[in-house]
Structure 1
Amino acid sequence: MSQLSRLISILTMLKSKRLLTATELSKKYDVSIRTIYRDIKKLEEGGIPVFTIEGKGYSLMDNYTVAPVQFSEKEANALITAQHVINQSQDASFVHDFNDALTKIKSVFKSSIQQKSELLNDKIHVFNWKYEEISSNALSEIQLAITSFNYVEINYQKADDPSISFRKIEPCAMYSTNNKWILIAWCHLRIEYRAFRIDRIKHFKILDSFFEDRKFNIQDYFASCPYGD
């Protein structure tokens, strides 16, 4: 779980009027008590009125509420449209996570906007003219590896090549073209940046070890016109 997700979850628990201890939170999120101390400090720095009851735990100031998020009809329509586009993706993890997120977002729509968004949903269709029967289920995990700088091990198969090669990579960025997600990574086999089609990754493992940020810039990468793998 990312720090942002953990902060939101802690705030949700505090809003339920529970008295929370650092020990309880560290066990729930499987992190150290020192990490929880940092999380609480982050909430305080963000203006959340968390206060400490000495010897007991953390609580929220009485009557504290979070202002509800309001979406305009055009913003809601943009999300519905994005859902149709994303549902064409051949990566199951990405589609699943986006649809779960959108369900939560739609729960805060005003009833009138919710009704219209459901109407629009029935009136949109996105065709994929370059459909290929190749799918993947790695995008969501690899996105986490990019932002956390985790090494990744993959088994990769090039197009029109029956052999599969093992690679240890440093995932740096990704882009989409023709409905296919391309991962740009530093490849320890080739000792240079390479582009990998995510749907051609046959197996992957996110390692617990971390690489140093190479300050990769995707604009510079495209300007150099590298070739894929």
Structure 2
Amino acid sequence: MSQLSRLISILTLLKSKRLLTATELAQRFEVSVRTIYRDIRKLEQAGIPVTTIEGRGYSLMDGYTVAPVQFTEKQANALITAQHLVSQTNDSSFVTNFEEALTKIKSVFRTSIQEKSELLNSKIFVFDSYNEKISSNALSEIQLAITNFNYVEINYRKANDPNITFRKIEPYALFSTNNKWILISWCYLRNTYRAFRIDRIHHFKILNETFQDRKFNLQEYFKTCPFDDK
């Protein structure tokens, strides 16, 4: 059983109002108690209010419910497929947030749908032939800056350039190519729109100060400024 499947099963058991010890869970899923401790921390990190009752076990906080959303098998399969595609991205913040969200979503799958989705999960493979692997950990924060119109300060290094430049930017749009995320922003250093590879951002800071929307249009941008993936 995969970790995700086990997390969903643990949540399902806790939703039944049962009080369960780490030892009971370890025996049920044939894993170590230490593994169960890690699973409980994963659930807590996903925002699920697991309560630890000293000397007795784990339960869910009183009043906690999961929204009664029903997924069809095709919809569940689409989520499983998306999980494999998301795992190919090089931004760890995005992968982490997606996996935490999917853990919550899967907790409302019917048992039959859950079993079939886990079967499909074991039968999907995504191969990446692109060799360059540069990781990043900024995508989730930058997405918030885009939707809240926050200025961002970055230290950026262009390809084949050892120098790092400081930029203050207005983030407007994101697109992905060859498993790399590209941020389109208004750059105050160049006084025009610029494309920044997120994996080339060495440091960033989201400012509380907000900017006035310039009504940026990504399609119009591509017509005048075709992207050179460097």
Counterparts of residues 5-154 of structure 1 (less than 5 Å): 68-154=68-154
1:203 maps to a residue whose letter is H
Q: Deviations over 1:68-96 (max 9, x none)?
A: 11111011000000000000100000000
Contact 1:194 1:227 in 2 (8 A): no
- Whole-angstrom CA distance in 2 between matches of 1:126 and 1:202: 28
1:87 maps to a residue whose letter is S
- Whole-angstrom CA distance in 1 between matches of 2:135 and 2:180: 9
**Runs ≥4 residues deviating over 3 A:** 226-229
Contact 2:182 2:195 in 1 (8 A): yes
CA positional deviation for 1:218: 0.8
CA positional deviation for 1:67: 6.5
CA positional deviation for 1:133: 2.5
Q: Corresponding residue for 2:158?
A: 158
Q: CA RMSD in A?
A: 1.6
Q: Corresponding residue for 1:204?
A: 204
Contact 1:152 1:205 in 2 (8 A): yes
Match of 1:104, SS?
A: helix
Q: Corresponding residue for 1:49?
A: none
Match of 1:81, SS?
A: helix
- Whole-angstrom CA distance in 1 between matches of 2:79 and 2:226: 34
- Whole-angstrom CA distance in 2 between matches of 1:101 and 1:67: 14
CA positional deviation for 1:224: 1.4
CA positional deviation for 1:131: 3.2
1:181 maps to a residue whose letter is W
1:164 maps to a residue whose letter is I
Match of 1:115, SS?
A: helix
Q: Deviations over 1:26-50 (max 9, x none)?
A: xxxxxxxxxxxxxxxxxxxxxxxxx
- Whole-angstrom CA distance in 1 between matches of 2:169 and 2:186: 5
- Whole-angstrom CA distance in 2 between matches of 1:162 and 1:211: 31
Q: Corresponding residue for 1:190?
A: 190
CA positional deviation for 1:125: 1.0
The TM-score, its normalising length taken from structure 2, stands at 0.69
Match of 1:76, SS?
A: helix
Q: Corresponding residue for 2:220?
A: 220
- Whole-angstrom CA distance in 1 between matches of 2:102 and 2:224: 37
Gaps of 5+ in 2: 1-64
Contact 1:92 1:135 in 2 (8 A): yes
Gaps of 5+ in 1: 1-64
- Whole-angstrom CA distance in 1 between matches of 2:71 and 2:97: 21
Pairs aligned (count): 165
Q: Deviations over 1:161-187 (max 9, x none)?
A: 111000000000010001100000000
- Whole-angstrom CA distance in 2 between matches of 1:142 and 1:69: 29
Q: Deviations over 1:94-147 (max 9, x none)?
A: 000000000000000000000000001011111111032210000000000000
CA positional deviation for 1:219: 1.0
Q: Identity of paired residues, percent?
A: 72
